[in-house]
Amino acid sequence: MFSVSNLCCSRGEKRLFSGVSFSLQAGEYLHLEGDNGVGKTSLLRLACGLSPLEEGQICWQGQPVSENSDEFRANLAYLGHQLALKEDLTPLENLLSHAAVAGRQLSTAKLWILDEPFVALDPAAQLAFAEVVNAHLANQGMVLLTSHQAVSLAGHGRSYRLSA
């Protein structure tokens, strides 16, 4: 349902990554791993259309996102760890807040792209948020996330490591 093919990203003269390809099907998650500065957040921003593509292609339901961007955006929930987040809210509260502003329930977005959703959460809050993500996966949702914490989610998942 969601795929990226041969993505690359540069910052200035520095190539952060190239040739990145993966796909997600209903009920699957992908944990994007890597050291600070290798481009994890940049990859997420490319994946959800917040940054322009240098190379490669992003597809939703087998069609390039550039050809069906309205449908893609209607099925996307993005939670970044920097801009536009309220620090006094949990990641779940931020997601629900953004969904309310967009005029829809969060559960209607099939693809969640989450940038460091577990950061600064105590163990109980991490567990509670993981349960929300697991429920989304059980309802045939998809999740692409970054995290420096160990991620233990239900369903079919795998890791993809970016390296410099």
Span 127-146, pLDDT tens digits: 888 998 999 999 999 999 99
pLDDT surpasses 60 at 84: no
Beta bridge partners of 29: 143, 157
Tell me the domain boundaries of the chain.
2-161
pLDDT surpasses 90 at 56: yes
**Average of per-residue pLDDT across 141-156:** 87
**Average of per-residue pLDDT across 72-84:** 80
pTM reported for the whole predicted model: 0.84
pLDDT surpasses 70 at 38: yes
Q: What is the pLDDT of residue 145?
A: 96
Question: 32 phi and psi, to 5 degrees?
Answer: -85, 120
Beta carbons of 30 and 159 less than 8 angstroms apart: yes
Sequence length of the chain is: 164
Q: What is the pLDDT of residue 107?
A: 65
Q: What is the pLDDT of residue 102?
A: 56
Grade residue 85 by pLDDT with cuts at 50, 70 and 90: low
User: pLDDT tens digits for 119-129?
Assistant: 877 888 888 88
CATH number of 2-161: 3.40.50.300
CA distance 63 to 2: 9
Q: What is the pLDDT of residue 87?
A: 66
Most confident of 104-113, 130-139, 151-160: 130-139
How many C-beta atoms lie closer than 10 Å to residue 158's C-beta?
Answer: 10
- pLDDT > 70 fraction of the chain, expressed in percent and rounded: 87
The contacts of residue 73 (CB under 8 Å, 6+ apart) are 49
- pLDDT > 90 fraction of the chain, expressed in percent and rounded: 56
